[in-house]
Structure 1
């Protein structure tokens, strides 16, 4: 059973590597560290840090030292965070510790969720049916964005040889994003968020056309459904069976249904290219949610290309965790690695007993690994909850 904790480079820098490793392997009884190597903006409360209690990371930067030779012809290139120069390359430091008997290392890599690069390259972001750009989301149909992601993975895995690389957001992102001062006075339903996440950028339209799918025939349907949602005094569902029926809930709109069936193609083919770019020594897994199809992910096809999947069981009861694990196993098959991710936030998880029950549910249902979010964001005492759950 692989047991890892997600963390940020500044978490390790603030407490120091010896104390961090003692927390991870001794207190929490874990055998892997999942370090952010590419990440987005935010404001993070830092209860663990002896230096500060909040941190604002640079938007859309990487936390390793790229091989410049790989990026010489790249239309979209990574920006290295100042943190690396100021505090050191934590990915290299963890790999060195691994070689000296420390925990295994996983490179937690955010792929297409990048507002900095989206602002710099507006022709490569997803666009709504109204052609509104989603600057936080590079599009998986964009050749430039695909080159960026595959080169990013090649760079990290060949240069650092992590034991694992965890892919976050190599797919279409939802409309709700948590952007700075994001406003929604309508009260969008989950189906409205999904409709607003559907991409009709030039790259998607062209790629769909190559597959014999008319994206432009789907566009006015989506536009009208979004317009109708915006005109109602109060929210009202338009798609019966959403989200439980998946894309089948949209069969009454044939052009849209055909478009949605195609929509997984850019994601699946990108995952294939990522797998080809990954150093064979590194295990490649996808981080996703229960309803991965919302982002255009076909988990069955993804499992054929990758070594496994980590499904996030955030805010789920033990019974729901068990169901998620069983469904995940059905989709990825008996051989693929299946991890389950937990968020250690209160009151989502209220005690060591609460966490242990959810961990036991995943283990009993066939999980191969556990990931915990997040080292620097929660009080140190919750590491004891992890350690207690690991002993069950």
Structure 2
């Protein structure tokens, strides 16, 4: 199976041994971040640093003049990825014999929400989520489409992987996070991720829902969860708590909005890319799910893109809905965490990859070559050699 390792530019730049070390894993490709959210990352082998703090979401290359005079525009990186950090790393990795594909994070940007609070998702209680741009807003949508095209099609890249191309909701790794006091499963996450900004209010009105009445109904539906009722019922429980007509209408509005963004973003990338450029979506096959692996309709996603990258660290079952709709040339990449400290299991990589292949996976994604310990990387090398 073809394998690609996720990498940040700061894993490579300033470490002359990094490209050969990554190539020695046995991977065919790297998925190199070109536009990324804020993070604090370990660099356990770098000769100059051990911790990189990316203070805000940024593009890791010099943005072009398409952004002149626009209020919503990508932020340049600070000293964690200066200049054309992406280009420098891509050149070194290519010289080591690796294909380079871009890794583009889209609707996940806390700095954007801080500087432009009107762009953020607003929940039923009026709380803003600065990390979550509302994809129904025309200005935000225009920003995301141009960012997708620019960050995806970098010089020398053979393809791209588009992350967070859809709704981002409540779930978010945040500094000193204190949100786990009440367990929220699918029901709570959905209800707390519904947006009530003016653009979404207008969207609800188009399908016959009053935004004020809907937000009140969402708050009422959440009350049992705040009191400790179990949240384990999936979509049927959303329908029970919110009412089937309102639940169906909100899901239809959000699904249509996300599908439109996905359609236009892939088209924007293809228009900017050379022939043969591969476009993959990081995706969850349950359309109402939010987050980095955006919920999609599998048939629609595979009609647009060359394939999907599917989270499989918890098991490969999410591959099945995509495999049922795959073409002969569809890429179904199983994304497996290979960092023990992040809950991965590099020692079982060969077995996990085999299970994923049985359910239709054609490729592997390894998260993350820069974050893993030497012992984890050794296990990855052994597994890829066995495969």
TM-score by length of 2: 0.88
Aligned mates of 2:93, 2:46 — CA distance in 1: 23
Aligned mates of 2:289, 2:153 — CA distance in 1: 31
Q: Does 1:7 align with 2:3?
A: no
The CA deviation string for residues 317-336 of structure 1, in whole angstroms up to 9 with x for no partner, is xxx32x33333312455543
Rate the CA distance shift 1:42–1:351 in 2: closer, same or farther, 3 A: closer
Q: Classify the secondary structure of the residue corresponding to 2:157.
A: coil
Q: Does 1:167 align with 2:159?
A: no
Q: Does 1:297 align with 2:296?
A: yes
Aligned mates of 2:120, 2:74 — CA distance in 1: 16
Where do residues 51-66 of structure 1 align in structure 2 (5 Å cutoff)? 51-66=48-63
2:45 alignment counterpart: 48
Aligned mates of 1:156, 1:77 — CA distance in 2: 12
Q: Classify the secondary structure of the residue corresponding to 1:126.
A: strand
Where do residues 227-376 of structure 1 align in structure 2 (5 Å cutoff)? 227-230=223-226, 232=227, 235-237=228-230, 241-242=233-234, 252-278=243-269, 279-281=272-274, 282-289=277-284, 291-295=286-290, 296-314=295-313, 316=314, 320-321=315-316, 323-346=317-340, 348-352=343-347, 354-376=348-370
The CA deviation string for residues 277-313 of structure 1, in whole angstroms up to 9 with x for no partner, is 1134332111134645312532321221222110011
What is the deviation of 1:214? 4.8
Aligned mates of 1:203, 1:162 — CA distance in 2: 35
Q: Is the 8 A contact 1:313 1:324 kept in 2?
A: yes
> Where does structure 2 lack aligned partners over 5 or more consecutive residues?
none
The CA deviation string for residues 124-148 of structure 1, in whole angstroms up to 9 with x for no partner, is 1101012211011111111121111
Q: Is the 8 A contact 2:113 2:132 kept in 1?
A: yes
Aligned residue pairs total: 376
The CA deviation string for residues 215-260 of structure 1, in whole angstroms up to 9 with x for no partner, is 5443221111224433x1xx2136x7315x5976668432232112
What is the deviation of 1:212? 5.2
The CA deviation string for residues 330-381 of structure 1, in whole angstroms up to 9 with x for no partner, is 24555432111011122634453x1110011122332121111112211123
Rate the CA distance shift 1:106–1:211 in 2: closer, same or farther, 3 A: farther
Q: Classify the secondary structure of the residue corresponding to 1:79.
A: coil
Q: Name whichever of 200-209 and 330-339 sits farther off.
A: 330-339
Q: Classify the secondary structure of the residue corresponding to 1:44.
A: strand
Q: Is the 8 A contact 1:247 1:260 kept in 2?
A: no
Indicate which of 371, 380, 383 corresponds to 1:386.
380
Aligned mates of 1:300, 1:271 — CA distance in 2: 13
2:195 alignment counterpart: 199
Aligned mates of 2:180, 2:23 — CA distance in 1: 46
Indicate which of 113, 117, 139 corresponds to 1:118.
113
Q: Classify the secondary structure of the residue corresponding to 1:74.
A: coil
1:219 alignment counterpart: 215
Aligned mates of 2:256, 2:171 — CA distance in 1: 23
Q: Is the 8 A contact 2:346 2:380 kept in 1?
A: no
1:74 alignment counterpart: 70
1:144 alignment counterpart: 139
1:180 alignment counterpart: 175
Aligned mates of 1:185, 1:312 — CA distance in 2: 22
> Where does structure 1 lack aligned partners over 5 or more consecutive residues?
none
Aligned mates of 1:195, 1:182 — CA distance in 2: 20
Q: Classify the secondary structure of the residue corresponding to 1:258.
A: helix
Aligned mates of 2:149, 2:67 — CA distance in 1: 11
What is the deviation of 1:263? 1.1
Rate the CA distance shift 1:159–1:7 in 2: closer, same or farther, 3 A: closer
Q: Name whichever of 219-228 and 6-15 sits farther off.
A: 219-228
Q: Name whichever of 42-51 and 190-199 sits farther off.
A: 42-51
Q: Classify the secondary structure of the residue corresponding to 2:79.
A: helix
